[in-house]
Amino acid sequence: MGMSSSPLLRIWKALLLLQFVTGALGWGKEGHYAVCKIAESSLQFQAYLNEDATAAVKELLPEYADGDLASLCSWADTMNFRYHWSSALHYVDTPDFFCNYDFARDCHDSSGHRYACVTAAIYNYTDQLKSEYHNPGAVTNYNLTEALLFLSHFVGDVHQPLHVGFLGDLGGNTIIVHWYTRKANLHHVWDTSIIESAMKDFYNSDLTTMINSIQSNITDNELPLWGDCEGNQTVCPNVFASESISLACKYAYRNATPGSTLTDDYFLSRLPIVEERVAQAGVCLAATLNRVFASKVQIAESRR
Ligand SMILES: *[C@@H]1O[C@H](CO)[C@@H](O)[C@H](O)[C@H]1NC(C)=O
Ligand SMILES: *[C@@H]1O[C@H](CO)[C@@H](O)[C@H](O)[C@H]1NC(C)=O
Ligand SMILES: *[C@@H]1O[C@H](CO)[C@@H](O)[C@H](O)[C@H]1NC(C)=O
Ligand SMILES: *[C@@H]1O[C@H](CO)[C@@H](O)[C@H](O)[C@H]1NC(C)=O
């Protein structure tokens, strides 16, 4: 992501970016990369998170990922065509103008199929990974590499405020605004535009610099606050979804009616929200993977 690339390389990168933009269903590629990168560094460097999870993640990653979960953090977005059923798993919508989230009421797809939503998907893939590690050697029908990649992606998605938006505007997808001089839909602004503008304006167009800055901002108090789940649950996606719709109402939808032009006022006041949600998602993913894979150690020890 350096600035010194050749013109051809830059065109190629722009095309690549465009491809993600048009197919965007989650945070953009940068946002997801940042979430997984923060999770990985937390896994490696924070005493709070353990080595077993790092080892288990490396074992599950395909060889071409070269041990880097972040490189495949947008894998789930590329699977929407092949696994058509998975495209409903990136979000959950609330009834129009409801600024709260209710699993029983909201977790379904547009045809009303229950549990086809991001929070159920997070439970699903957490359970798949966990059950395998509770019953090592048991034959499962699940591809745990895919479970890991889906989980890592959906934990990111559920933290994007407009992935828990209103049904009527499809989480901001049908709200057409101008992002500075360019036409964009509000959902895309939150997936991608805010992060891209921040990279350009504040981080020398370098994603790594932005990630480092977000990560070094995380305090020791925030780690347990963002990583722990009440009552020792392995994962608590309903909490993240509630936070997201609340932020969507307070920040994303506010002053962003159809046809409005969003500039510095909107950008500068919303950027801290985006950066905090990316940080929270990264910490949350690391803590979740830690709990998922820690069960293996506990079970193995209790059998000795
Ligand atoms: C759970 O995961 C399996 C395997 O990927 C998938 O077929 C199923 O649709 C998922 N269910 C939910 C509710 O996400
Ligand atoms: C599991 O999924 C990954 C990613 O889709 C794929 O590369 C791999 O071949 C799958 N493994 C099995 C055993 O099907
Ligand atoms: C959570 O787990 C710890 C350690 O296993 C235990 O001491 C504690 O009582 C548990 N808390 C709840 C609310 O279940
Ligand atoms: C760092 O934290 C402060 C205070 O919460 C916030 O205003 C700022 O936007 C954060 N910066 C980054 C890069 O996360």
In a domain, 8, yes or no: no
Backbone angles phi, psi at 112, to 5 degrees: 85, 5
Cα of 109 from ligand 4 centre, angstroms: 35
Q: What is the rounded CA–CA span in Å between residue 98 and residue 244?
A: 12
Task: Read off the CATH number of the domain in which 152 is found.
Answer: 1.10.575.10
33 domain residue, yes or no: yes
HSE on the CB side for 8, CA within 13 Å? Answer: 0
Q: Ligand 4 centre and the CA of 216: distance in Å?
A: 10
Angle at 214 between CA 208 and CA 215, to 5 degrees: 85
State yes or no: pLDDT of 5 exceeds 80.
no
Higher-confidence residue: 141 or 256?
256
Q: DSSP class of residue 255?
A: T
Residue 3 located in a structural domain? no
Q: Is the pLDDT of residue 146 over 70?
A: yes
For residue 128, what are the domain limits? Answer: 29-303
pLDDT given for residue 41 in this prediction:
84
Q: Could you read off the pLDDT of 166-184 as tens digits, one per residue? A: 999 999 999 999 999 999 9
Mean pLDDT, the chain, integer: 88
The model's pLDDT over 90-134, given as tens digits with 9 standing for 90+, comes to: 999 999 999 999 999 999 998 999 999 999 999 999 999 998 877
Q: Report CA(70)–ligand 2 centroid distance (Å).
A: 18
- Distance from residue 91's CA to the centre of ligand 2 (Å): 24
Q: How far apart are CA 57 and CA 71, in angstroms?
A: 13
Q: Residue 72: what pLDDT?
A: 97
Report the atom number in ligand 4 closest to the C-alpha of 271. Answer: 9
User: Looking at the domain assignment, is residue 123 inside a domain?
Assistant: yes
The answer to whether residue 293 sits within a structural domain is: yes
Residue 140: pLDDT band by 50, 70, 90 thresholds?
confident
d(CA 266, CA 250): 12
- Check pocket membership of 232 for ligand 3, CB cut-off 6 A: yes
User: Can you tell me which atom of ligand 1 is nearest the CA of 150?
Assistant: 5
280 band by pLDDT with thresholds 50, 70 and 90: very high
**Ligand 3: does its nearest atom lie under 6 Å from the Cβ of 230?**
no
Q: Please compute the mean of the pLDDT values over residues 37-46 and round it to a whole number.
A: 76
In this structure, the residue with its CA closest to atom 4 of ligand 2 is: 146
**Number of domains making up the chain:** 1
Q: Is the CB of 120 under 6 A from ligand 1?
A: yes
Classify residue 19: in a domain, yes or no. Answer: no
CB of 103 within 6 A of ligand 1: the answer is no
**Average pLDDT rounded to a whole number, residues 56-79:** 94
State how far the Cα of 83 lies from the Cα of 88, in Å rounded to an integer. Answer: 10
Reading across the β-sheet that carries 261-262, which strands appear in turn? Answer: 182-185, 176-179, 261-262
Dihedral sign of CA atoms 42, 187, 272, 92 in order: negative
- Using DSSP's 3-state secondary structure scheme, residue 108 falls into strand
At 24 the pLDDT is 41
Q: Judging by DSSP bridges, how do beta strands 176-179 and 182-185 pair with one another? A: antiparallel
Tokens read off for 108: 């379904």
Give the Å distance between the CA of 238 and the centre of ligand 3.
20
Residue 10 in any domain: the answer is no
Is 224 inside a domain boundary?
yes
Q: pLDDT for 11-40, tens place per residue?
A: 444 444 444 443 345 688 999 999 999 998
Looking at ligand 2, which atom is closest to the CA of residue 144?
A: 1
